[in-house]
Amino acid sequence: MPAPTPDFWHPDAPNTVVSADNLEVLRTLPDASFQLIYIDPPFNTGRRQQRQSITTTRSALGTAGSRVGFKGQSYDTVKGTLYGYSDTFADFWDFLEPRLEHARRILTDTGTLYLHLDYREAHYAKVLLDVLFGRDCFLNEIIWAYDYGARTKRRWPAKHDTILVYVKNPSAYSFNSEDVDREPYMAPGLVTPEKAARGKLPTDVWWHTIVSPTGREKTGYATQKPEGVLRRIVQASSREGDWVLDFFAGSGTTGAAAAQLGRRFVLVDENPQAIEVMRERFSRRHPEVEVEFRSADRQGRQSGV
């Protein structure tokens, strides 16, 4: 007997963040209920991922701070909460496979899955998704390239992630190329002024910086992805009013991008720190977005933001 449909989700439900084991939630979601699914699961790096938030304030006049900045001005650094999670699974693919099976089931016929991984696991994921979806449902391998962080001198420094894109139905999927934010031509002098002014449609290689450690977008959550990357995904593979799902929600970037573009979303994560970050993010940075926070036991509503 299939699990009952959860009381937090129905076609007219508000945006929702669920604190729960994502597999338990996926089992309850009805077939063909989401147009777009983006997931950024732990990368199985074998190490703990963590990031500590830092705020910097100008020191009081006449006092010496812990850092010296522009024109010798003294600053104090205040360390905030250390956010992290264990990024190692003894049976990583046994963990991920049933979740991907449900992802395919709950996609609409025109829907698309974006699976975000790093180079250590992408080739395994491609084989698995070919089996689960079918090779004819493979749409793209997107390379997200960035240029930040440490550089080893013992090999070519790894500065990219892989996003595998699969569609539910290769004859019916939705792809809205005209809605995607365009980017500058690398050689604008080789195209007409009209084309240069409009910009070009991105290819399957996306040059986009990571979240700036000192930028407004930063939440302090480990492995936070930039809204620009998610914005492009949401624009291309959904339309206004469509439902978007991220069941490894982390800092909530998928929901932030979806809300800004007029989509509805469900975010799932069982890490209490992730839920804390999302609650703070939506309440302070996107107060115009109605979001319900629900607990794992599905008993009533938690405080909305």
Does 133 share its domain with 66?
Answer: no
Of 61, 79, 97, which closes a domain? 79
Residue 73: the pLDDT is 54
Which domain-ending residue is among 60, 79, 98?
79
Q: Which pLDDT does position 49 carry in this prediction?
A: 39
Same domain, 152 and 176: yes
214 with 273, same domain? yes
The string over 219-245, giving b where at least 16 C-beta atoms fall within 10 Å of a residue's C-beta and e elsewhere, is bbbbbbbbbebbbbbbbbbbbeebbbb
Tell whether 63 and 195 lie within a shared domain. Answer: no
One domain for residues 118 and 260: yes
Q: Which of 182, 174, 23 is nearest to 113 (CA)?
A: 174
pLDDT tens profile 201-249 = 999 999 999 888 778 888 878 778 999 999 999 999 999 999 999 999 9
Q: Which pLDDT value is given to residue 242?
A: 97
pTM flag (> 0.85):
no
Residues 266 and 127 in one domain: yes
Range of the domain at 185: 15-46+88-294
Q: What pLDDT is stored for residue 61 in this prediction?
A: 54
The CATH number covering residue 166 comes to 3.40.50.150
Residues 283, 256 contacting (CB under 8 angstroms) = no
5 within a domain of the structure (yes/no): no
Instruction: Answer whether residue 164 is part of any domain.
Output: yes
250 and 281 housed in the same domain: yes
* Residues 125, 63 within the same domain: no
Within a 10 A sphere around the Cβ of 137, how many other Cβ atoms? 19
Residues 60 and 137 reside in one and the same domain: no
Q: How far apart are CA 158 and CA 128, in angstroms?
A: 23
In a domain, 265, yes or no: yes
Q: Are residues 164 and 205 in the same domain?
A: yes
Tell me if 56 is assigned to some domain: yes
Residues 288 and 273 in one domain: yes
Residue 231 tokens, joined: 């914005």
Q: Is residue 161 part of a domain?
A: yes
Counting the structural domains of the chain, the total is: 2
8 in a domain, yes or no?
no
Q: Flag whether 302 is in a domain.
A: no
Convert the pLDDT of each residue in 268-304 to its tens digit: 999 999 999 999 999 998 999 999 999 865 433 333 3
Q: Which residues of the chain have pLDDT under 70?
A: 1-4, 43-91, 296-305
Output the pLDDT for position 2. Answer: 54
Residues 41 and 54 in one domain: no
